[in-house]
Structure 1
Amino acid sequence: MPIQSVSLASESLVYSYSKSFNGFAAKLTKAESEKLSGHESVVSVFPNRLRQLHTTRSWDFIGFPQNVTRTTVESDVIIGMLDSGIWPESQSFNDSGKIIGARFYHAGEDFKNGEIPSPRDSEGHGTHTASTAAGNTVTPASLLGLASGTARGGVPSARIAVYKICWEDGCSDADILAAFDDAIADGVDIISLSVGGWPQDYFEDSIAIGAFHSMKNGILTSNSAGSLNKTLVQGKIVVCNGVNQGTEQVRVGAAGSTMIPPPKTVNLREVAYPFPLPVSILTHADGVDLLEYINSTRYPDLTAPGVDILAAWSEATTITGQNGDTRIVPFNIISGTSMSCPHASAAAAYVKSFHPTWSPAAIKSALMTTARQLSVEDNSDAEFAYGSGQIDPIKAVNPGLVYDAGEIDYVRMLCGQGYNLTQLRLVTGDQSTVCSGTTRTVGDLNYPSFALSYDKPTSITRLFRRTVTNVGPAPTTYKVFIDVPEELEIRVEPEVLFFNETGEKQSFVVIVTAALETSMLSGSFILSNGIHLVRSPVVAFVSGQEDI
């Protein structure tokens, strides 16, 4: 290659990912990117999209008190926080060895006014999420006297590794992948990422790519399902399940909001609400009809606290971050799935401290199958709305059974989605990867939840294969218990599972028949030995997409 070409290539290169997976970010013309995408050794070429941050007594609220049983191993657990940085002077991090490393990434050309070219947090978001996950116990803590009490992280003895990827404009794919590359190489135990964007193909999704390689290295990635996206909702009417103050809608530039109250709500015509933007409040029945019309088809794995969370805040910004606000505070109260994510990350770290050798899939299974089922009265969409349920870290330490999975299981899932062998071998780095001989579908990923979909209301039947591992005492016997509405039928074969040893695996099939006359049906089944309740949600919905 001529010296001039080498020089031009060097100038175009933004990042080279080589520590944990192979790839690079570069400034390319459309013609160059198209030519590169056709190369036999390239899996995918995609633009550097910007993703958005998903923006205390919450631990007590989920039954996880301050005096919960802990292991000494907790202090060895490292949570990698991929966010907007951290404010290290906060009392929540005032512990020798709490923050064990900090990096920052900026693929953009220039820093904007107010942005700090270091791992320091100029927005507050990263400080808030880090302290929620692993902040020290701080008393007293409040926001200008509000919510006065003790602020603490879920795993206060755990360590924090900081990877600042988010700036005023958002969080770029190039920076996200660079942070994943470093975090994996650094050997973190959990990656917490309160960041997201519109769903992309797996091989064009920086978070999916990073999470896959994290999984290969035994690292669980905890990612929030999503809050309001400024770009998508600006100037739009936002539909909210529940009645809230409207502050989040104002923050992201919504033109107004339609709110759906829970059932058995008092007569709202007799209540005055001071909203900062135009709002219409429907009856619960009309709201259910509206949600069915909208027909959302994304549902979470787990639910965790995310409303009015008090946690540490950066003193490089104000309470609101808006012009004219001069209030600097050490703690702030904010809401969103961003706040839910570090709760789930801390719960995963807590389970990891008791079971250091468990795989990411086993830890996730433990959290999902022991989660608390939420009230149908307050959640009319049931499992479709809250997934497996609300996290219960204490129960997750002793789940009884786990649905385990490793790299080969995820490769088979990708095979079932039609990805070709060349792509898969490049992603895995293993030339022996094969798809032939497998007739399994995407729905056969050994996952603790079940979903089936169709493009129009009809009666459908699907079969799913699963394997569970006994992580409790043996011998033991598990029986099946089913909880479904009339329109949904679940059969589990065999109905009884016998385990003679700890670590023993047993396989079974789940046959689901759904009479889809509405847009969504949900239920669950439980495997129980009289001590452990291993619960899995089952959802059927109209979407036009393949089974999940």
Structure 2
Amino acid sequence: MASTCLLLLLTFFFFFFVFPADAESPRQVYIVYTDGVSAGKYATSSAHLEILEQVLEDSNEASESHIYSYNEIFTGFAARLTNAEKQKLASAQNVVAVLPGRKFQLQTTRSWDFLGLSTTVKRISQVESNLIVGVLDSGIWPGLESFRDDGLGPPPKKWKGVCHNITCNNKIIGGRSYYTGDQPLAEERSVIDTDGHGTHTASTVAGMEVGNASFFGLAEGTARGGVPSARIAAYKVCWKTIAGATCEEQDLLAAFEDAIKDGVDMLSVSIGSNETKEYPIDGLAVGSFRAMKKGILTSAAAGNYGPHPSTVTNGAPWILTVGASSMDRKLLAKLELGNGQTFMGDSINFFPTQRSFYTIQLGEDDNKKILINNSTKRKNVVLKSIKSVLLAIKVGARGVIWDAEEVFVNQACQLPLPGACLNTSAINKVKKYVIKTKNPVGKIYKSISVHDPTAPLVASFSGRGPVKVTPNILKPDITAPGVDILAAYSLKAPSTDFPDEKRHAPFKIISGTSMACPHATGAALYVKTFHPSWSPSVIKSALMTTATPMSAKENPDAEFSYGSGHINPLKALNPGLVYNTTEIDYVNFLCSELPTKVVKLISGDDVVNCSNSINAYEMNYPTMSANVEPKKPFTVKFPRRVTNLGQPNSVYKATVQSPSGVRVSVNPEVLAFKSLEQELKFQVRVSGGKLEAGEKVSASLVWSDGKQSVRSPIFIYA
């Protein structure tokens, strides 16, 4: 016992005298913000090391302490410091603040938490497991963890579907494939997904929880869909042919028909066209109208042809048209040059950080002449064109520094070799360094996840309004996360989109309105879990009127890019009032646009009464939009009806926000409800002076009873 006490005493004296009290305090990560005005001097890693050397023992200790340098998202760096070092550094010249690095829980489908739909959110599992989502896409890859059927009973009794050439379980309960195209297929004829797209969208809607999911170590966490207990039916309508990828319209219509017959509750369609067609020749519009008649809401992608005007697809009013927005997680890869300069770029670089600095070579000259040859092997090469990237891969380049600003807008790029994708401004600085340096070298780091406080912002690629065929309907309806979304992926599909890619992974990060669409589908299914009897338009209205408003300043295309705003599933559970757009409303609208015989074709009804036709802006829609003549004063009247789904006895008062020069009046200004499901009418009158061609006016109407707020955008454009 005495020897033990002596040993403990000696140990105490050893630590007390050899390690000072402060040295015993553990180092932790701090984020150091340097003076932005002095960014030129204090934005490089070498400058950051100089700052650290002011408070640490020597340059080696400073180098070990330094973690990352930042000059794109902010000017500063991250370092591991003791509390005393942190205090000293905070008073150093040009240091603005030193803040402890916060701990974020890594989650692959961060998007659902960003939307407020956490793993602990209230659910009615028994009802949720009775819901079936039909996914019209490129098929599905069964056998993944995301599609296991733990805890799920047999398919709902209402289910009438089948499984063709696929092994189903109690999660994937149906699978059909359709192909009647002219080109020979470049894949087997089955529901098996060889592209990965369909697997990704299906798991985003209803994938089961999967722990430790990641894309080769990036965005590691728990992957899950919005309604993990819901069932999936896959309808493969998109294929690889020897002439390229295709989704045949006739196959799409057949899939709609089968899905309706099979008994799906909702349809998720991440498919669109690069050209807007009128309704009678738009198969997706027709198919979704028929689904609506059966009580099935169709959620569809707004298209990836933005930011140009009138690029929104799937603009029929009975479709929930979904644009893509960012979420509060960015994936960044760092490039460090030999002179200490660092650059951060939106990049999905899952390769380990390069062990040393490698020679940097320019891949193209100022005349865009390609300079890549066998000498490029084992070098980091600066590129711009896709052709140069492919050639660099072929000759064995060590890594790629890519000017991808025009190719990957608002999303992280991905390469089949170590790469950092930078904006053009950063690339020009890299080129300047290469040209003026005798031995230019650089190191490419593995990507990291960082918090993005600017989210949500509408992605540049997301389709914009107005809809060409119906310019008085505001589209898209809503936005949802569609940038850098990680979800399950087919093991038959390559992990990158480059030729000769041999790697495969059960998860992949993708961007597009295709990714936003299943988020909206999942949100709609979540609402339906609590309100099984709600019609498609009621669910749609609930999602739109409770959406989070977005900033026109940060999204210059305003409502043409985000519609009602950013989706909020939890608020949509209790919308208060809803705009119930009925089949008759849609038919009356179509009657003003098309001959009666064509309206019959779309509606599927033998008899159609077109005596009560209405203009698009008169339809009972949750948003109010009108296209007016340029350089003429305007007045537009929007007749609307709202149904009370809040409290039986409730009084809602109207509040209007509008810019100067535009007059908005509501009649009546107060709606007094005496019972649930009671419907009351009102009219909104908007008038103003002359608008120049292309000019837009944003206003809004909010009905509130003191608890619930029911918001409708008012959007006038010339």
Smaller-chain TM-score range?
Answer: 0.7 to 0.9
- Which of 538, 544, 550 is residue 374 of structure 1 equivalent to? 550
- Which of 224, 230, 235 is residue 163 of structure 1 equivalent to? 235
Paired amino acid for 1:195: I
- Which of 406, 413, 419 is residue 257 of structure 1 equivalent to? 406
- Local SS of the residue matching 2:626: strand
TM-superposed deviation, 1:324: 2.0
- Give, in whole Å, the separation in 2 of the partners of 1:258 and 1:99: 35
- Give, in whole Å, the separation in 2 of the partners of 1:102 and 1:123: 16
TM-superposed deviation, 1:439: 5.6
Q: Alpha carbons of 1:321 and 1:103: their partners in 2 closer, same or farther (altered >3 Å)?
A: same
Paired amino acid for 2:665: R
Paired amino acid for 1:102: G
In the alignment, does 2:181 pair up with 1:181?
no
- Which of 66, 87, 93 is residue 119 of structure 2 equivalent to? 66
Return the index of the structure with the highest Cα Rg. 2
TM-superposed deviation, 1:65: 0.9
2:684 equivalent in structure 1: 510
- Give, in whole Å, the separation in 2 of the partners of 1:147 and 1:307: 13
- Runs ≥4 in structure 1, deviation > 4 angstroms? 240-247, 249-256, 258-261, 268-275
TM-superposed deviation, 1:526: 0.6
In the alignment, does 2:360 pair up with 1:211?
no
1:421 equivalent in structure 2: 596
Paired amino acid for 1:402: V
1:300 equivalent in structure 2: 476
- Give, in whole Å, the separation in 2 of the partners of 1:79 and 1:457: 48
- Give, in whole Å, the separation in 1 of the partners of 2:604 and 2:119: 44
- Give, in whole Å, the separation in 2 of the partners of 1:274 and 1:483: 45
1:225 equivalent in structure 2: 302
In the alignment, does 2:172 pair up with 1:99?
yes
In the alignment, does 2:497 pair up with 1:444?
no
1:384·1:522 contact (CA, 8 Å) conserved in 2?
no
What is the CA deviation profile of residues 179-206 of structure 1, one whole-angstrom value per residue up to 9, with x for unaligned ones?
0010011111110000001110101000
1:354 equivalent in structure 2: 530
Q: Alpha carbons of 1:174 and 1:429: their partners in 2 closer, same or farther (altered >3 Å)?
A: closer
- Local SS of the residue matching 1:131: helix
What is the CA deviation profile of residues 255-306 of structure 1, one whole-angstrom value per residue up to 9, with x for unaligned ones?
9839999xxxxxx99755899xxxxxxxxxxxxxxx9xx9963441000000
Paired amino acid for 1:59: W
Paired amino acid for 1:468: V
- Structure 1 stretches lacking a partner, 5+ long: 1-55, 230-239, 262-267, 276-290, 543-548
1:3 equivalent in structure 2: none
In the alignment, does 2:570 pair up with 1:394?
yes
What is the CA deviation profile of residues 11-43 of structure 1, one whole-angstrom value per residue up to 9, with x for unaligned ones?
xxxxxxxxxxxxxxxxxxxxxxxxxxxxxxxxx
- Local SS of the residue matching 2:702: strand
- Give, in whole Å, the separation in 1 of the partners of 2:408 and 2:497: 26
1:383·1:539 contact (CA, 8 Å) conserved in 2?
yes
Q: Alpha carbons of 1:295 and 1:116: their partners in 2 closer, same or farther (altered >3 Å)?
A: closer
Superposed, 1:23-38 pairs within 5 Å as none
Q: Alpha carbons of 1:187 and 1:332: their partners in 2 closer, same or farther (altered >3 Å)?
A: same
1:241·1:260 contact (CA, 8 Å) conserved in 2?
no
Range moving further from structure 2, 89-98 or 304-313: 89-98
TM-superposed deviation, 1:420: 2.2
Paired amino acid for 1:199: T
1:476 equivalent in structure 2: 650
- Give, in whole Å, the separation in 2 of the partners of 1:241 and 1:499: 36
Paired amino acid for 1:101: G
- Give, in whole Å, the separation in 2 of the partners of 1:396 and 1:256: 36
2:129 equivalent in structure 1: 75
Q: Alpha carbons of 1:101 and 1:394: their partners in 2 closer, same or farther (altered >3 Å)?
A: same
What is the CA deviation profile of residues 23-70 of structure 1, one whole-angstrom value per residue up to 9, with x for unaligned ones?
xxxxxxxxxxxxxxxxxxxxxxxxxxxxxxxxx200111221111111
Q: Alpha carbons of 1:108 and 1:492: their partners in 2 closer, same or farther (altered >3 Å)?
A: same
Q: Alpha carbons of 1:260 and 1:119: their partners in 2 closer, same or farther (altered >3 Å)?
A: closer
In the alignment, does 2:540 pair up with 1:463?
no
- Give, in whole Å, the separation in 2 of the partners of 1:457 and 1:273: 44
Paired amino acid for 2:256: F
- Local SS of the residue matching 2:304: coil
- Local SS of the residue matching 2:605: coil
Q: Alpha carbons of 1:270 and 1:221: their partners in 2 closer, same or farther (altered >3 Å)?
A: closer
Greater RCO (CA < 8 Å, at least 6 residues apart):
1
1:189·1:220 contact (CA, 8 Å) conserved in 2?
yes
- Give, in whole Å, the separation in 1 of the partners of 2:172 and 2:531: 23
TM-score (norm 2): 0.59
TM-superposed deviation, 1:376: 3.8
- Local SS of the residue matching 2:234: strand
- Give, in whole Å, the separation in 2 of the partners of 1:541 and 1:430: 35
1:520 equivalent in structure 2: 696
- Local SS of the residue matching 1:344: helix
In the alignment, does 2:220 pair up with 1:143?
no
1:57 equivalent in structure 2: 110
Paired amino acid for 1:187: G
Q: Alpha carbons of 1:182 and 1:514: their partners in 2 closer, same or farther (altered >3 Å)?
A: farther
- Give, in whole Å, the separation in 1 of the partners of 2:676 and 2:627: 36
TM-superposed deviation, 1:461: 1.2
In the alignment, does 2:119 pair up with 1:84?
no
- Give, in whole Å, the separation in 2 of the partners of 1:495 and 1:444: 19
Q: Alpha carbons of 1:250 and 1:412: their partners in 2 closer, same or farther (altered >3 Å)?
A: farther
In the alignment, does 2:197 pair up with 1:125?
yes
- Give, in whole Å, the separation in 1 of the partners of 2:489 and 2:407: 31
2:279 equivalent in structure 1: 202
1:323 equivalent in structure 2: 499
- Local SS of the residue matching 2:478: coil
Paired amino acid for 1:424: V
2:481·2:519 contact (CA, 8 Å) conserved in 1?
yes
Q: Alpha carbons of 1:421 and 1:69: their partners in 2 closer, same or farther (altered >3 Å)?
A: same
Q: Alpha carbons of 1:98 and 1:457: their partners in 2 closer, same or farther (altered >3 Å)?
A: farther
Superposed, 1:272-287 pairs within 5 Å as 272=427
Q: Alpha carbons of 1:228 and 1:429: their partners in 2 closer, same or farther (altered >3 Å)?
A: closer
TM-superposed deviation, 1:222: 0.3
TM-score (norm 1): 0.77
Provide the alpha-carbon RMSD of the alignment.
Answer: 3.0
- Give, in whole Å, the separation in 1 of the partners of 2:266 and 2:110: 23
Paired amino acid for 1:257: E
- Give, in whole Å, the separation in 2 of the partners of 1:57 and 1:315: 22
- Give, in whole Å, the separation in 1 of the partners of 2:428 and 2:585: 51
- Structure 2 stretches lacking a partner, 5+ long: 1-108, 150-168, 307-323, 331-344, 349-383, 390-402, 411-422, 431-459, 468-474
- Give, in whole Å, the separation in 2 of the partners of 1:215 and 1:480: 30
2:205·2:522 contact (CA, 8 Å) conserved in 1?
yes
